[in-house]
């Protein structure tokens, strides 16, 4: 899918995250997280997995994470992508 | 470097001190006389009143390189330490070491004075930003974290010689008798200050409430107080309360409390003479509520409640569920109000509470105690000092003292906090050694240390969700993923001292 406009999903509450996706020339992932030192590798892997599943080739994905678990990351990114996909 | 018995590399020296690596909780023996200080004689009918804080510093003879202390009974409402350091700076005195009973977030005001060289070391643990900056390498100031019992020990043995103790005295007369029970800055028990009053080389009572002689009941007596000085305000007692003082409503917390209550019920100690300690958090209070109901239902008269005392314990005393409360510090205003009124609500020194080097401290008489944890490893070692970024953010309090003393020490914690697995392969910092930790209670199950086989069998018999601690870890990791360990530089910025003075762990500077 293609990111046509800005899409956002999530909250800034503990154990949740805010995902913002925007159009961009290439694929860019920006991670800010309260557990970055211990979990950046797993957060990035999960984001990349969901982006690949949705065939996203370009766009800027920024997350502000408050210690969300994988399923929350997946759900929030899916929602943000759907909101950014036009229609 | 030597490896201690819990696998941590301990240097030979730190900040000029020779270190003893931790080996076990029991065998280290003291080789010291009780510390001494000069006997003083006050000029006949002399006055101890010296004016304000600056006059008291001058009168005390405080000089470059000396060590000062304050008590933390006003906790985050304390004004004295910040004011004191400002005055010390104004007098041009430098290279002061702080050996207070604890340092709180409010004392972040000291940071510029550390940068300036007024303060050059902490002979005590710290809560909040000072530890964080030291961990990041942005502040150069060695810290030795001590437990409540360990701090008392270090003053009593003379390992930490306090040159001048400036003790907040909420109800004080001009001859230096004081207590913490009354006045605008009443904080209740002066459990920590009682140690300084006996061992500091000079003792200054600092008050905002000078009352006509005699200030009774006498907590700290005129015989040990050199000077009395006055300040506009010692602090704000409303800020004594640090965390929630209400029973949790969080379903995870309630589940943990229910399991912890099962542990207490299965321990065999819930009978006449039961003794108990718990903290101030929402889960701890939920456990206390279960305990109260068990005692009522079984018509059980307990022996004593101990530790930092909350209004919850006061209610249990007044209901007749406990014979006495031993109070080293009041955790809320209801406890402050009670200690001045209830004869069986007893002020207890930090040494009596938890010093391992005496003929038996009160923690040794505890049956069950509820403790918290930031992290727990598969060997039951507990960390309460450093957080997920590796920063030193919390003082030890009585954690390792109570764990060592209580017959059943019960660590309660949610299994996950914001993706962080609480039970894990390794803890960032070892505060309390696993061999003194009895039971780990999470909402996902209960892990019992092998040294309590009877309790484990009883819990299984009662259908409690007992799990091997490695099984618990695996279940948690399957939800959170396996965390990468925080990376550290070689530089050691703080020591974690065990209660007997040996070094159980170090805190290293965190890699940026």
Strand partners, B237: none
Q: Express each pLDDT in B139-166 by its tens digit.
A: 999 999 999 999 999 999 999 999 999 9
Q: What residues does each domain of chain A span?
A: 7-84
Which of B419, B508, B509, B512 best probes binding to A when mutated, by most A CB atoms within 10 angstroms? B419
Tell me if B480 and A69 make a contact (CB, 8 A cut-off): yes
Q: What is the mean pLDDT of chain B?
A: 96
Kindly state whether B475 is in contact with chain A, defined as any CB-CB distance less than 8 angstroms. no
Whether B123 is covered by a domain: the verdict is: no
CATH number at residue B481: 3.40.1080.10
Kindly state whether B486 is in contact with chain A, defined as any CB-CB distance less than 8 angstroms. yes
ipTM of the complex: 0.92
Number of H helices, E strands in chain A: 2, 4
pLDDT of residue B244: 59
DSSP B352-404: HHH-SSSS--GGGG-SEEEE--SEEETT--EE-SB-TTS-B----TTHHHHHH
Handedness of CA B419, B423, B425, B430 (dihedral sign): positive
Q: Which residues of B touch A34 (CB under 8 A)?
A: 388, 418
**Tally of CA atoms within 13 A in the half-sphere of B102 that contains its CB:** 26
> Domain tally for chain B?
1
Owning domain of residue B375:
251-490
pLDDT of residue A1: 87
Whether B401 is covered by a domain: the verdict is: yes
Q: Measure the CA–CA gap between B225 and B165, rounded to whole angstroms.
A: 10
CB pairs under 8 A between A and B: 42
Kindly state whether B417 is in contact with chain A, defined as any CB-CB distance less than 8 angstroms. yes
Chain A residue nearest residue B481, CA to CA: A42
Burial class of residue B137 (count of CB atoms within 10 Å of its CB; 0-12, 13-18, 19+): middle
Q: Nearest Cα to B133, choosing from B110, B158, B159, B152?
A: B110
Residue A23, Cβ neighbours under 10 Å: how many? 14
Q: Measure CB to CB from residue B481 to each of A14, A37, A39 and give the nearest one.
A: A39
Whether B425 is covered by a domain: the verdict is: yes
Q: Measure CB to CB from residue B418 to each of A37, A42, A67 and give the nearest one.
A: A67
Q: Express each pLDDT in B209-256 by its tens digit.
A: 999 999 999 999 999 999 999 999 999 999 998 765 678 889 999 999
Contacts of B302 (CB under 8 A, 6+ apart): B272, B273, B274, B275, B276, B295, B316, B321, B322, B323
Whether B387 is covered by a domain: the verdict is: yes
Q: Which residues of A touch B389 (CB under 8 A)?
A: 37
Q: Which residues of A touch B481 (CB under 8 A)?
A: 39, 42, 70
Longest alpha-carbon distance in chain A: 38
Segments of chain B scoring below 70 in pLDDT: 243-245
Q: Measure CB to CB from residue A39 to each of B390, B417, B419 and give the nearest one.
A: B419
Torsion angle of C-alpha atoms B123, B128, B130, B133, degrees rounded to 10 = 130
Q: How close does chain B come to A4, measured CA to CA in Å?
A: 32
**Per-residue b or e along B316-328, where b marks 16 or more CB atoms closer than 10 Å to that residue's CB:** bbeeebbebbbbb
Chain A residue nearest residue B479, CA to CA: A69
| B residues 382-401 closer than 8 Å to A (CB) | 388-390
Tell me if A41 and B484 make a contact (CB, 8 A cut-off): yes
Q: How close does chain A come to B479, measured CA to CA in Å?
A: 7
Q: How close does chain A come to B445, measured CA to CA in Å?
A: 20
Tell me if B388 and A34 make a contact (CB, 8 A cut-off): yes
Would you state the structure tokens that stand for residue B37, as one six-digit string?
């200080």
Whether B382 is covered by a domain: the verdict is: yes
The residue count of chain B comes to 512
- Full pLDDT tens readout for chain A, 87 residues: 899 999 999 999 999 999 999 999 999 999 999 999 999 999 999 999 999 999 999 999 999 999 999 999 999 999 999 999 864
Whether B78 is covered by a domain: the verdict is: no
pLDDT of residue B232: 98
Helix (H/G/I), strand (E/B), else coil: B330: strand
Architecture of domain A7-84: 2-Layer Sandwich (3.30)
């Amino acid at each position: 899918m293609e990111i046509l406009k800005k899409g956002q999903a999530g909250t800034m509450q503990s154990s949740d995250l805010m995902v913002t996706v925007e159009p961009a020339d290439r694929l860019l992932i920006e991670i800010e997280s309260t557990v970055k030192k211990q979990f950046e590798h797993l957060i990035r892997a999960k984001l990349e997995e969901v982006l690949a599943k949705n065939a996203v080739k370009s766009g800027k994905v920024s997350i502000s994470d408050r210690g969300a678990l994988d399923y929350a990351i997946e759900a929030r990114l899916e929602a943000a992508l759907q909101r950014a996909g036009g229609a | 470097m030597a490896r201690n018995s819990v696998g941590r590399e301990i240097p030979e020296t730190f900040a000029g001190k020779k270190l003893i690596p931790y080996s076990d909780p029991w065998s280290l023996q003291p080789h010291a006389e009780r510390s001494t200080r000069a006997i003083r004689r006050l000029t006949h009918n002399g006055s101890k009143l010296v004016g304000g804080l600056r006059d008291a510093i001058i009168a005390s003879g405080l000089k470059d390189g000396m060590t000062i202390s304050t008590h933390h009974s006003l906790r985050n409402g304390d004004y004295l330490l910040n004011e004191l350091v400002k005055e010390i700076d104004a007098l041009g005195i430098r290279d002061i070491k702080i050996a207070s009973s604890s340092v709180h977030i409010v004392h972040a005001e000291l940071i510029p004075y550390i940068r300036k060289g007024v303060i050059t070391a902490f002979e005590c643990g710290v809560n909040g930003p000072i530890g964080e900056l030291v961990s990041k390498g942005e502040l150069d100031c060695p810290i030795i974290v001590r437990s409540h019992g360990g701090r008392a020990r270090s003053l009593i043995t003379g390992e930490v010689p306090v040159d001048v103790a400036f003790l907040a005295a909420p109800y004080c007369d001009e001859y230096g008798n004081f207590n913490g029970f009354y006045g605008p800055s009443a904080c209740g028990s002066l459990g920590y200050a009682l140690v300084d009053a006996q061992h500091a080389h000079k003792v200054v009572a600092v008050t905002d409430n000078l009352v006509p002689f005699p200030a009774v009941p006498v907590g700290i007596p005129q015989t040990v107080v050199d000077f009395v000085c006055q300040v506009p305000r010692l602090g704000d007692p409303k800020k004594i309360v640090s965390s929630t003082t209400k029973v949790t409503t969080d379903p995870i917390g309630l589940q943990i409390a229910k399991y912890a209550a099962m542990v207490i019920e299965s321990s065999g100690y819930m009978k006449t003479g039961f003794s108990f300690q718990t903290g101030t958090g929402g889960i701890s209070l939920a456990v206390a509520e279960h305990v109260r109901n068990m005692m009522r239902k079984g018509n059980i008269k307990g022996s004593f409640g101990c530790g930092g005392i909350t209004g919850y314990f006061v209610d249990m005393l007044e209901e007749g569920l406990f014979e006495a409360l031993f109070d080293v510090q009041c955790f809320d205003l209801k406890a402050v109000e009670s200690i001045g009124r209830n004869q069986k609500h007893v002020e207890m020194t930090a040494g009596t509470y938890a010093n391992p080097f005496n003929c038996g401290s009160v923690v040794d008489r505890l049956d069950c105690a509820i403790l918290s944890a930031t992290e727990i490893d598969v060997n039951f070692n507990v960390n309460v000092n450093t957080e997920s970024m590796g920063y030193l953010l919390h003082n030890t309090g009585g954690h390792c003292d109570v764990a060592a003393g209580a017959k059943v020490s019960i660590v309660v914690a949610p299994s996950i906090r914001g993706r962080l697995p609480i039970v894990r392969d390794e803890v960032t910092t070892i505060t309390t050694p696993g061999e003194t930790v009895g039971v780990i209670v999470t909402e996902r199950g209960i892990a019992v240390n092998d040294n309590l086989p009877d309790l484990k069998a009883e819990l299984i018999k009662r259908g409690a969700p007992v799990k091997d601690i490695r099984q618990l870890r695996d279940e948690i990791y399957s939800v959170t993923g396996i965390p990468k360990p925080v990376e550290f530089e070689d530089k050691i910025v703080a020591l974690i001292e065990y209660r007997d003075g040996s070094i159980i762990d170090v805190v290293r500077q965190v890699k940026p």
